[in-house]
Amino acid sequence: DTGVSQDPRHKITKRGQNVTFRCDPISEHNRLYWYRQTLGQGPEFLTYFQNEAQLEKSRLLSDRFSAERPKGSFSTLEIQRTEQGDSAMYLCASSLSIAKNIQYFGAGTRLSVL
Amino acid sequence: DQQVKQNSPSLSVQEGRISILNCDYTNSMFDYFLWYKKYPAEGPTFLISISSIKDKNEDGRFTVFLNKSAKHLSLHIVPSQPGDSAVYFCAASGTGTASKLTFGTGTRLQVTL
C-alpha cells in the first residue's frame, strides 16, 4: 500500500496558462475524489469518480475545470485559463466503496497563479 | 453556508492532559462523521470515525463522541502528546450526498511540554 500519490507537489504558473495535475489512488480503491483547500479553510469537494464514471461535480467546478479518470485508475484535473483565484491546494483522495466512506488523502498539489 | 463548524480556531494543552476538540453540524442528513489530522505540507490523515447509530467510538488515545440531538461531536485525546500538535478537521457525509465529505475549518492543536 503506497498511499495516494499526487504530482506535481507544487506548480507555479502565470495567469491564463493551463495546468494539469495527476492523482494515483490506492490501487484497490474504486472511488476517487478531488478537493480544493484554501488558507484557513477545510477541504472543499470538487468532484468524484466511481471507477471511470464521474458521478458528481460541485458548483465550485467551473467550466474551466475538467477531470478525467480514463481507465478507472489514475485521474487528472485540468484547469484552463488559470486565474489568481485558482491558487489553492488541490487534494486527491480515494476510498473503497464498501468501506464506510473513509477517504485517504494524498499530500496535495499546491498551485500558485501569478 | 457552513454545514460543519469548528468554532475554536486554536487550542493549547499541556502534555499529558486531555485535549477536547469540538464540532457542530447543521445538516440532519449527515450520518457518518470523521476526524482528520493535518500536518503542514501533508494531506489530511484519517484518525477516527463514527456512525450516527453510535454515540461513542474509541481507538487508543482517541475517542469520538456524537450527540445527534445537539448535532454535536467531539474528539478527546488522552493523554495528549507533543506529536499530536497539528490541525484537526471534522468532516461529515450522508447517504444522500454521494459520499463526498463536508469539512469544518479546522482547529489547530498545540501540545506544550
pLDDT of residue B74: 98
Is the Cβ pair A42, B42 closer than 8 Å? no
Residue B109: closest CA among B90, B74, B82: B82
Between A and B, how many CB-CB pairs are < 8 A?
Answer: 61
Lowest mean pLDDT among A57-61, A85-89, A105-109, B79-83: A57-61
Q: Is A51 an interface residue toward B (CB < 8 Å)?
A: no
Name which of B43, B89, B100 is nearest A42 (Cβ-Cβ). Answer: B89
Does the structure show a pLDDT above 90 at A17? yes
Name the stretches of chain B with pLDDT < 50.
Answer: none
Using a CB-CB distance cutoff of 8 angstroms, which residues of chain A are in contact with residue B47? none
Measured torsion, CA atoms of residues A77, A80, A82, A85, in degrees rounded to the nearest 10? -60
Question: Which positions ≥6 away from B22 have C-beta within 8 Å?
Answer: B6, B7, B8, B72, B73, B74, B107
Report the percent of chain A where pLDDT is more than 90.
Answer: 82
Mean pLDDT of chain B: 94
The predicted-structure confidence for A46-72, as pLDDT tens digits, reads as follows: 999 999 999 889 988 889 999 999 988
pLDDT of residue A61: 85
Q: Is A46 an interface residue toward B (CB < 8 Å)?
A: no
